[in-house]
C-alpha cells in the first residue's frame, strides 16, 4: 500500500514529515494537543475546536470507527487532525464508517505516522502555535513557502469564532419529565450532550444564535440563561458580554460552561488571558472548594479567567461578592466562579463530559436547584 506524503509545519519552523490521513490539501490552524485516550468522535465534533489542528496524544486512533449516535454537533469542526498510528481496521458493532472515510467526506486534512509525543513535548515547552498540514501535491511545495503560509495565518488571540459554529435560527428541545420552564441557551458552540443534560433536568431548551440580544432572550420568557462552550478568544466577544450583563442586571439565574465561564468573568469585570498550551482532554483534576472533592473532568480551553483564588472578592462591575469555586490542580487555573449576591455561577470545564468522566455531572443538578430556589424567592 502506498501513502501520500504529508508535512506538518509549525510557525517556529519545526517540520514533521509523515503520511496523509483524511482529505488531501492544505489546512491551517492553532496546533493543540488533546490527552483523551477515547472519545475521538466527540472531540472532532466539538465546536470548541474550530480553528484548531488537534493532535491526539493517544497513539492509536480510529479503531472503533465512526457512528451516527456519538456526534456532539452537526459536523466535524477541527481545522486539521494529527495522529500517530491510525487503525486500519474498524472493530465496533456500532460503527458504520471508518474515521478515515469521514475525514475525507468532511474535507478534514490530517497527517499520521509522526512522533506525536515529541510534538506534544515541544508544545508544552514552547506553547500552542500556528501550524499547517500540507498533503498530496501541497506537501511538495517549497519549505520556505509553506512556513510563510503558516506565519500569515491568523493567531487565535483576538479571534471571534462564535458566528462560525452557532445555529442561525433558534431550535427547541422539549423538557423531559416535569417542566421547570424555558431555558435560553446562547449557542457559542454548544454540544448535544449539554442540551440533553439540561432537558433531562426539566428545562425546555431554547438554543439561540450567538447574535441574540437581551430582547431575544426575554422573548421566550426564560426562567434562566445558559452560555455554552465555544471557540475563540473571550476578549473578542464584547457583544455577548454586554448581553450577559443585562442578564445579570435582571437577576435571571445564570450558568456558563467553558467559554461561558470566561464571558461570565468578563461580565463581572475580570480579565482573561491565553494559557501557554491550554487544557484539552478528559483527565483534568479539579478541586470543588465547597466540598473539598477532587473531580476528574473534561476540558477544552486555551483561555482562562484572572481572579484571586482565596476568599470572596468584590465584583469590579458591581455584582457584589464573588468567589472562585473550582481550581485546576495541575496549574492552579481558575476553573469556576460563583456569585454570592446574585443567582449565577460557571465552570471552565465540561460537566456533560462527552467524552469523559461524569464526576461533574452534578453541576446540572446544582443549576436546576438554583433556578427552583429563585422561582420560590420570586413568589
Active site members: 258, 350, 352
Grid cell digits, residue 205: 431548551
Q: Which of 336, 328, 329 is nearest to 362 (CA)?
A: 336
Instruction: Please state whether 297 falls in left (phi above 0), alpha (psi between -120 and 50) or beta.
Output: beta
- Alpha helices (H) in the chain, listed in sequence order: 40-44, 99-105, 116-126, 143-152, 162-165, 192-200, 214-218, 238-249, 259-268, 362-378
Residue with cell 470572596: 312
If 0-12 CB within 10 Å is exposed, 13-18 middle and 19+ buried, where does residue 95 land? Answer: middle
The span from the CA of 162 to the CA of 224, in Å, is 21
Phi first, then psi: give them for residue 236, nearest 5 degrees.
Answer: -100, 15
The span from the CA of 301 to the CA of 281, in Å, is 10
If 0-12 CB within 10 Å is exposed, 13-18 middle and 19+ buried, where does residue 291 land? Answer: exposed
DSSP SS3 for 312:
coil
Amino acid at each position: 500500500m502506498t501513502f501520500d506524503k504529508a508535512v506538518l509545519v509549525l510557525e517556529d519552523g519545526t517540520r514533521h514529515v509523515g503520511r496523509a490521513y483524511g482529505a488531501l490539501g492544505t489546512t491551517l490552524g492553532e496546533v493543540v494537543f488533546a490527552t483523551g485516550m477515547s472519545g475521538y468522535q466527540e472531540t472532532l465534533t466539538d465546536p470548541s475546536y474550530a480553528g484548531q489542528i488537534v493532535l491526539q496524544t493517544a497513539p492509536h486512533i480510529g479503531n472503533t470507527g465512526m457512528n451516527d449516535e456519538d456526534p456532539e454537533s452537526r459536523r466535524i469542526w477541527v481545522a486539521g487532525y494529527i495522529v500517530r498510528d491510525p487503525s486500519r481496521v474498524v472493530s465496533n458493532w456500532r460503527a458504520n464508517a471508518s474515521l478515515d472515510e469521514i475525514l475525507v467526506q468532511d474535507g478534514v486534512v490530517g497527517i499520521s505516522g509522526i512522533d506525536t509525543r515529541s510534538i506534544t513535548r515541544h508544545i508544552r515547552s514552547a506553547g500552542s502555535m500556528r501550524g499547517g498540514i500540507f498533503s498530496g501535491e501541497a506537501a511538495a511545495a517549497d519549505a520556505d513557502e509553506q512556513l510563510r503560509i503558516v506565519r500569515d495565518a491568523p493567531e487565535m488571540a483576538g479571534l471571534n469564532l462564535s458566528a462560525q459554529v452557532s445555529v442561525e435560527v433558534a431550535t427547541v428541545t422539549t423538557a423531559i419529565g416535569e417542566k421547570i420552564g424555558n431555558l435560553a441557551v446562547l449557542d457559542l458552540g454548544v454540544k448535544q450532550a449539554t442540551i440533553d443534560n439540561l432537558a433531562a433536568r426539566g428545562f425546555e431548551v431554547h438554543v439561540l444564535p450567538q447574535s441574540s440580544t437581551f430582547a431575544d432572550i426575554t422573548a421566550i420568557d426564560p426562567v434562566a440563561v445558559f452560555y455554552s462552550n465555544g471557540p475563540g478568544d473571550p476578549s473578542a466577544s464584547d457583544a455577548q458580554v454586554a448581553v450577559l450583563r443585562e442578564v445579570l442586571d435582571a437577576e435571571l439565574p445564570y450558568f456558563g460552561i467553558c467559554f461561558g465561564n470566561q464571558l461570565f468573568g468578563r461580565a463581572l469585570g475580570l480579565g482573561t488571558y491565553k494559557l501557554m498550551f491550554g487544557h484539552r482532554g478528559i483527565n483534568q483534576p479539579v478541586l470543588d472548594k465547597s466540598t473539598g472533592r477532587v473531580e476528574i473532568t473534561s476540558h477544552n480551553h486555551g483561555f482562562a479567567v484572572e481572579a484571586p483564588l482565596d476568599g470572596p472578592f468584590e465584583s469590579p462591575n458591581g455584582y457584589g461578592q464573588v468567589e472562585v469555586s473550582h481550581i485546576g490542580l495541575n496549574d492552579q487555573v481558575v476553573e469556576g466562579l460563583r456569585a454570592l449576591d446574585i443567582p449565577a455561577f460557571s465552570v471552565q470545564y465540561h460537566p456533560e463530559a462527552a467524552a469523559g468522566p461524569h464526576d461533574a455531572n452534578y453541576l446540572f443538578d446544582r443549576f436546576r436547584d438554583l433556578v427552583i430556589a429563585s422561582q420560590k424567592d420570586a413568589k
